[in-house]
Amino acid sequence: MNDFQERLQELLEERSLSRLQLAETLNITSTTINGYFNKNYYPAIDIALKFSKYFNCSLDYLFGLSNERHTKYNVRVDDVLINFNRNFKQLIKENNLTVAKAMRELGMSEYNYYRWQSGKFPKTYNLLTIAQTFEVGLDWLLSEH
């Protein structure tokens, strides 16, 4: 199990919820929920934010980046892409990197950066890679501060 699976399972057990009950409560298919456990993939960030809000925990906690359940950052799904692009540019600048060099260090193509800038949202595993590489939390990366 990855950190996300472990945390989600822990949160389900704390509330005595089944995967099916969670799916019904959040209006997500049970197939999707089961996929997070059986196929070892991460939810899109909008779904992760639903989990975060429902379980009243931070994204960092949910993905195993922190043991602190709560965060001082307020991540709103409507602002996530704007916040991400601004914060990622800030990280690149603070680390004296060019876009090309930052993306190489992340093991990603520069094309991804320009897709994100044009309105395509990064995959959750890309966000996790960025957060871990630059030693910031997902909550910080996706919030306004």
Look at residues 15, 131, 1, 9 and name the one whose alpha carbon lies nearest to residue 75.
Answer: 131
Is residue 57 domain-shared with residue 82, that is, in the same domain? no
pLDDT tens digits for 34-44?
A: 999 988 789 99
Does residue 95 lie within any of the structural domains? yes
Does residue 28 lie within any of the structural domains? yes
3-state secondary structure string across 62-115: HCCCCCCCCCCCCCCHHHHHHHHHHHHHHHHHHCCCCHHHHHHHHCCCHHHHHH
Q: Which residue carries 């320009």 as its tokens?
A: 114
Number of domains within the chain: 2
pLDDT tens digits for 53-68?
A: 999 999 999 999 999 9
Query: Whole domain around residue 38: which residue ranges?
Result: 3-62
Is residue 94 domain-shared with residue 119, that is, in the same domain? yes
pTM: 0.92
pLDDT tens digits for 103-115?
A: 999 999 999 999 9
Does residue 68 lie within any of the structural domains? no
Residue 9's CATH number: 1.10.260.40
* CA angle, residues 90, 56, 81, in degrees to nearest 5: 30
Does residue 72 lie within any of the structural domains? no
Does residue 24 lie within any of the structural domains? yes
- Would you state the structure tokens that stand for residue 89, as one six-digit string? 């540019």
H/E stretch holding 129: helix 124-134
